[in-house]
Amino acid sequence: MKHWSSRVLGVLCALFVSAALSCANKEKPAEEATATQKPETQGISGQLTPENAPYGSVIRSKGYQVVQVRRFPAQVDGRRAAVIVYRSSDGARGGILYVRGFQEDPPRPVWHWYFAEGAPDSIAPADINRDGLWDARVYMTGGKTVELIQDTDFTLVGAEHDGLMAMNGASSQADGLWKAFDSDTSTVWQAPSPSHIDIPNPLGLSEGQLSVKLAGVARPEKLEIGDGTKKLQECDLDATSEEQRFQLDEAVKTLAVIRVTAVGPGKRVALSELEIR
């Protein structure tokens, strides 16, 4: 993997907002958000079909087809959950979006898995490793089966959030990458420096905001966001475990993958939370 700057000591990523905005720690007004990710208004109730799937309008607006929607174990009391399986028309790629909400309330994402090569046909819950937690068995086009193990590849007990970025991008430390995206600050993704994360963004953003929470003692000082070939934006990080928010340049919003690098001899990246919406 290519790293763009020898002075960068951070790790993270994100998308969207006005090109005039650089890395300012200020929140974008809600009225400026695009219709790319309209809030869902329908709860997970009644009959679920590809036509009325949660976030179906967002998925279709990006050129994908919803091929399956079904209820799934919520694994959190008082909530209902569903999974939406989508793929491109040529069956070359696709993903799975797991959403959850209180009864009739609009559902929100919990995890999102994207396949850049090959596409899913359907998904079924299964306790694959017999640990009492629901895992996911994914049936792919062409007959291949992919098994995703909870607490190894993903989690169902993370908090609901607003971002639709995938949780399974490539990184310098693939193990536990989902811990940076589960909205749970007690779980931490750690990697030696220099480090990077490539995060798929198949469904776009609503606000173009990056939210970061760092963990550990040796905190990174900067982060770079790019497209895999060049740096597009640089942000300064404070030495704190409190949430830090950044608005991102317009140039970032159309990318399918964002590269984030961290460089610093002897440093170790510890990221407790990364949210992009």
pLDDT digits (tens, 9 = 90+) for 217-274: 667 777 888 776 777 788 888 888 899 998 887 666 666 566 666 656 666 788 888 8
Residue 29 has pLDDT above 70, yes or no: no
The answer to pTM > 0.75 is yes
Q: How confident is the model at residue 138 (pLDDT cuts 50, 70, 90)?
A: very high
- pLDDT the model gives residue 43: 63
Q: What is the mean pLDDT of residues 130-137?
A: 94
Burial of residue 251 (CB within 10 Å: 0-12, 13-18, 19+) is: middle
- pLDDT the model gives residue 15: 31
Q: How confident is the model at residue 9 (pLDDT cuts 50, 70, 90)?
A: very low
pLDDT digits (tens, 9 = 90+) for 53-66: 999 999 999 999 99
pLDDT digits (tens, 9 = 90+) for 66-111: 999 999 999 888 899 999 999 999 999 999 999 999 877 889 999 9
Q: How confident is the model at residue 6 (pLDDT cuts 50, 70, 90)?
A: very low
The structural domains of the chain, ordered by start, are 1-33+169-277 (2.60.120.260), 38-164 (no CATH)
Residue 186 has pLDDT above 80, yes or no: yes
Residue 198 has pLDDT above 80, yes or no: yes
pLDDT digits (tens, 9 = 90+) for 139-180: 999 999 999 999 888 888 888 988 898 888 888 888 888 888
pLDDT, greater one: 72 or 22: 72
Residue 8 has pLDDT above 60, yes or no: no
- pLDDT the model gives residue 23: 41
